A and B are shown apart, each in its own frame.
Chain A
């Protein structure tokens, strides 16, 4: 196992690594898409909530994030399907078929599962952004920057966000595991043939070597992501130095 050989599938007799390799791009696409969407949506929302503390936007964020943490991902996926695929017909029910058929159909095909994955992540990351920004915004240098006449946006996004990023990056990394777990369920809801679908099929077929391979792969991905997060710290905060004590 340590040499990178995960053995053979008990059922199809193919090497586990090549079976996993086939499915990895689908799951990777979903996970990366959801992470990007989360960051793009959650960080501005969190900043908005921090800046407008205790005002309407802040309360609205708190309520919606509490709600979205209570919705199981498969139910969210099905609600999205009912609303946007069955009734409004904006998106296809079987999105996977459209991947690779041009840019717009691909985006359409992957949009619903990515949104379903990103919603709970967004709730967590936006809350963390809010908390982290609140701490930074109360510091003197932010007040000084505003006093020198810099625009609000420049101060919030250039000066304050830089120092608020570490907890945000941490929570994105820590939640990557939950995101990978989420892909297992979301792939089932949207019929995407990724690692999650493979996992469920293998469970039903009692193909233990595949199950073991997927668990190891997800565990390894999670560890690698969090190691990268640790390395990113050094770029975000010059005070963080590794290798010296």
Chain B
């Protein structure tokens, strides 16, 4: 567990974000390490971060940015290729594909953030407790995790959506349940390794309450690992949501999502492949960008893992 020096090396600013100087403090907390981390992220992860932030802006202001109504026909010319009026072409009802891709970003971003926050809060807290308390609690949580992880992620999501019904809220719940065990494992093992440190034993020795030790002495050091895992959760959530929508059991048409757009376009790949290619590319770009950020953050947290497989 390498810690990032909060006074970032000034020679390492090359690809970093132009951020104001952080105040000098004695102890590097999670947030300050993150700020310093952004400075030394490197070129590719910074590009990834910019892309993700741009997409968040696009998702928030989607109705203002989209040139046409995403759910109403914009042209009598159906299944048209890219043109000056419709950059990404039109679909089988004459709807503007660019507008639909822009509005579709909303679903991906909402699901991405909801699932990430949900699994961070639930999986993170359970992981902290499992790693810190150990014993029976740890064993029960471990077994539950194993059971959930034995079922392939997309299958678990399909089964839960089948029980709850489709729609964006149930998709978020299903994907969160699938991602919690992964977050739990990562946070638990980080908690275990930090609990062994002398500073934690010292804190307990001077009589700090367990809750204080956990939240003040352990959690800040687990934070970095959890943030890295969050990026992968985010990417997984977007991929799985697209998969569910593609299968027709996620967010239902006519509300556009990248997944159900590719699904609708599938019947027309012989005559109009662009309808499938643009929303698909949108998924690739977002997921790639998030993974770049995640790889950059992981390299910072653990320089030895550089270039290794996940």
Q: Interface residues, chain A, CB within 8 Å of chain B?
A: 62, 65-67, 69-75, 78-79, 81-82, 86, 93, 124, 126-128, 130-131, 171, 177-178, 180-182, 184-185, 188-189, 199-200, 202-204, 206, 208, 211-212, 214-215, 218-219, 222-223
Across the interface, do A82 and B273 meet the contact criterion of CB distance under 8 Å?
Answer: yes
> Is B283 an interface position by the 8 A CB rule?
yes
Across the interface, do B291 and A70 meet the contact criterion of CB distance under 8 Å?
Answer: yes
Q: Provide the bound-state CA to CA distance between A181 and B178, in Å.
A: 13
Q: Which of B26-34, B64-72, B149-157 contacts A (4 or more CB under 8 A)?
A: B149-157
**Which chain B residues (226-271) contact chain A, with CB distance < 8 Å?**
235, 239, 242-243, 246-249, 259, 262-263, 265-266, 269-270
Which of A126, A177, A188, A208 is close to B152, meaning CB atoms less than 8 Å apart? A177
Contact-residue size bin, chain B (C-beta under 8 Å from the other chain):
35 or more
User: Given the interface contacts A72-B239, A75-B262, A219-B150, does A200 sit within 8 Å of B155 by beta carbon?
Assistant: no
User: Given the interface contacts A62-B307, A66-B291, A86-B270, does A78 sit within 8 Å of B280 by beta carbon?
Assistant: yes
Across the interface, do A214 and B155 meet the contact criterion of CB distance under 8 Å?
Answer: yes
Q: Provide the bound-state CA to CA distance between A211 and B163, in Å.
A: 10
Mark contacts of B150-171 with chain A using CB atoms, 8 A cut-off: 1 yes-contact digit, 0 otherwise.
Answer: 1111111011011100000000
Q: Provide the bound-state CA to CA distance between A169 and B276, in Å.
A: 36
Query: Smallest Cβ distance from A90 to chain B, in angstroms?
Result: 15
A-side contacts of B163, CB under 8 Å: 208
Q: Provide the bound-state CA to CA distance between A188 and B260, in Å.
A: 13
Across the interface, do B152 and A69 meet the contact criterion of CB distance under 8 Å?
Answer: no
> Is B284 an interface position by the 8 A CB rule?
yes
Which of B158, B247, B284 is close to A75, meaning CB atoms less than 8 Å apart? B284
> Is B288 an interface position by the 8 A CB rule?
yes
> Is B209 an interface position by the 8 A CB rule?
no
Across the interface, do B262 and A171 meet the contact criterion of CB distance under 8 Å?
Answer: no
